[in-house]
Amino acid sequence: MVEHLRARTRHAHVEPLVTRRAGRQYQTFKAAIRAAHAAHGLPCQMERCLYPARTIDYRRQYPDPQAWSLDHIRALHQGGAEFDPANSRASHLLCNQSAGGRAGNRKLRAMQAMQEPAPTQTPTSTRW
């Protein structure tokens, strides 16, 4: 039994796959920033906002693509401060995901594919 516990805790120094943004400190910080943004009615501050009006409906919740999302101006993996209000801005969830380099781009392409009409096939000639 003791060997089993040692085997499980042997790699305790390795970072978990779950991001640190799931913690209580981050959730509290995020709630305070959201309340401040909602009080001022801030629009989406992304350079390439996907919604023409840029307004954010603060009543919407995740996973709604038009819901508010906390965007870090300088990305965390580039050394941006995680709990610095000056490093945060309001954005739509979809705008934030599309700007990130990971799964957001796949989701953006999937949503754009659903919105764009299918390309029509050009007629071919029967004469060679």
pLDDT digits (tens, 9 = 90+) for 4-28: 444 444 444 444 434 566 789 999 9
How far is Cα 13 from Cα 55, in angstroms, rounded to an integer? 43
The residue extents of the domains of the chain are 22-109
The token pair at 82 is: 């995680």
Measure the CA–CA gap between 89 and 23, rounded to whole angstroms.
Answer: 20
- Tell if the pTM clears 0.75, that is, is over it: no
Residue of 21 and 104 predicted with greater confidence: 21
Indicate if the pLDDT at residue 41 is higher than 90: yes
CB contact at 8 A, 20 and 82: yes
Residue 85 has pLDDT above 70, yes or no: yes
DSSP alpha helices (H): ranges in the chain? 2-9, 24-40, 93-99, 103-115
